[in-house]
Chains A and B, each alone.
Chain A
Amino acid sequence: MNLFTHLGRYFILMYRVFSKPQRFSVYWRQIIHEINNIGISSLPIIAIISVFMGGIITIQAAFGFSSPWVPLYAIGFTTRESILLEFSPTIVSLILAGKVGSNIASEIGAMRITEQIDALEIMGINSAGYLIFPKIAAAIIIFPFLIALSMFLGIWGGYAMGVAANACSSYEYIFGIQAYFEPWKLYYSFTKVIVFAYIITSVSSYFGYYTYGGALEVGKSSTRAVVYSSILILFFGLILTNLFFSR
């Protein structure tokens, strides 16, 4: 199947996903369920990775800035910039593409092969809207909070590791994370997060929804969902970076 067939099917699916909900109260209940399923359940992995990555970035920055000509507050500054601009929005999104994307594709794929989607269609329910819209909405709502938490924990992890390893003083680190702060970079980061949330959920849902066959195909759909979501995250990350930084 060529790229244009996939694109065509994807946009037809999205048209169905964003058509008017049949019963909004049911959709709303599903959105709450998905916020828990997609978002809250991802908290532990995001927290662990963010704290450790913050620590690692700080140690690497301290090692790189060993010259007496570079002020020590540059460690905090570098950690903040790395985490705010790239680590939290992009790397954490790639991790979520693995966790959430594979989960969505396998869940919807399994529903397809066990005829649960057919059951919805025969009942007269827009299966694409009922299954996919709440996932996209939930991700767009919850991902910014997850990434904000990741930013906070990453910077805190850097602080804890920097001070514990005696790479810089508490004052220097805190001064560094406040230095030359430009608020528009947060706007850039959260724009990326929202775009990535949409990519992860819609692309994974697409591969799950068009699963045909058996358990083997569900596995393949899950893998494709992660691979294509990751590639698209990087691709759109590049486009957005170009848009925001080329001024």
Chain B
Amino acid sequence: MIEIKNINKTFGDRHIIKDISFKFYQGKTNLIIGESGCGKTTLLKLMVGLHAADTGEILYHNKNFPALDNKGKQEIRTKIGMLFQGGALFDSLTLEENVQFPLDMFTHLSKTEKAERVNYCLDKVQLSGKNKLYPSELSGGMKKRAALARAIANSPDYLFCDEPNSGLDPKTSIVIDNLIQDITRELNITTVIITHDMNSVMEIGDNVMFIHKGENWWTGDKTEILNTKNAELFDFVFASEFIKKVYKKNAS
């Protein structure tokens, strides 16, 4: 489990993250949703240590990550897998080399064991047989899946996904969502997903936090979202007139 307590972050005179607290549960897909520019990605970067929070605690199984020494941080980082918005695959490496990379750096597995693990991860994201392809030869959806395979290669305890569906068609988005959910449940890991895709929220939103203007505005799950009385969340969910009409029709 990850818990954040009273996180604040300012850049110059802009207060981006305002006193956010939330619990991200193990074995569940925890979603952070909100409009573009509301502070979702900043919060994620604070959680993984790419930025430093001004105040607050980020607890990984009760260990306050920002307060740890380098060795302690390193220990937690080796348990983190991250799926970046653009994939962030290493261009100069093939797909299998990308997936094998964390294993080379942090494990003492034999070549055969590494190959087995790589094939298992590629199989998990339905990319078997694509081992020798370079990132430039992959489609957007394949890149996301490959990045997911790399993120889970070292059996992480925590998986972070930054807009896993951006730039993907609805069908591929659902494939990625389901993959993330399956992996989360099967490996019993804590998954944190940033998204503004309402399809994802309705598909896999086990535990949802809605951020509005840098504040934790609403928390709940996918079943509660549609009946929300929160005006800002309602506007966010039903931003499309089409969905609003369909929802009203169904409700009546």
Contacts and interface: CB of A to CB of B under 8 A. Distances in A.
Contacts of B48: 122
Contacts of A119: 82, 84, 88, 90
B104 A123 contact: no
B77 interface: yes
Interface in B134-154: 154
B105 A26 contact: yes
A115 B86 contact: yes
A60 interface: no
B50 interface: yes
Nearest to B50: A118
Nearest to B101: A123
B77 A123 contact: yes
A122 B80 contact: yes
Contacts of A123: 77-78, 80, 101-102, 105-106, 154
A166 interface: no
Contacts of B90: 111, 116, 119
Nearest to B74: A124
Interface string B63-94: 00000000001100110101011101111000
Interface residues of A, number: 15
Contacts of B220: none
Given A122-B49, A122-B50, A23 B105 contact: yes
A227 B78 CA distance: 38
B104 A23 contact: yes
A123 B98 CA distance: 12
A118 B84 contact: yes
- Of listed B50, B77, B88, residue having the most chain A CB within 10 A: B88
Given A115-B85, A115-B88, A116-B90, A121 B50 contact: yes
Given A122-B50, A124-B74, A124-B77, A114 B88 contact: yes
Contacts of A121: 49-50, 77
Interface residues of B, number: 23
Contacts of A124: 73-74, 77-78, 80, 106
Contacts of A41: none
Contact of A125 (B82, B88, B105): B105
A97 to B, nearest CB: 22
B77 A122 contact: yes
Contacts of B106: 23, 123-124
Interface in B49-71: 49-50
B105 A22 contact: yes
A228 to B, nearest CB: 25
Contacts of B50: 118, 121-122
A110 B86 CA distance: 13
B104 A26 contact: yes
A245 B73 CA distance: 51
Interface string A114-156: 1110110111110000000000000000000000000000000
Given A123-B78, A124-B74, A115 B84 contact: yes
Interface in A191-244: none
Contact of B88 (A22, A23, A26, A118): A118
A118 to B, nearest CB: 6
Interface in A75-121: 110-111, 114-116, 118-119, 121
A139 to B, nearest CB: 18
A118 B45 CA distance: 10
Contacts of A125: 105
Interface in A26-67: 26
Contacts of B78: 123-124
A118 B85 CA distance: 12
Contacts of A118: 50, 84, 88
B12 to A, nearest CB: 15
Interface of B: 48-50, 73-74, 77-78, 80, 82, 84-86, 88-91, 101-102, 104-106, 154, 160
Given A114-B91, A115-B85, 17 more contacts: A22-B105, A26-B105, A110-B91, A114-B88, A115-B84, A115-B86, A118-B50, A119-B82, A119-B90, A121-B49, A121-B77, A122-B77, A122-B160, A123-B102, A123-B106, A124-B106, A125-B105
Interface of A: 22-23, 26, 110-111, 114-116, 118-119, 121-125
Q: Please provide the 4 A-B residue pairs with the shortest distance between their CB atoms, ordered closest to farther.
A: A124-B77, A115-B88, A119-B88, A124-B78
9 contacts: A22-B105, A23-B105, A26-B105, A114-B88, A115-B88, A119-B90, A121-B50, A123-B80, A124-B74
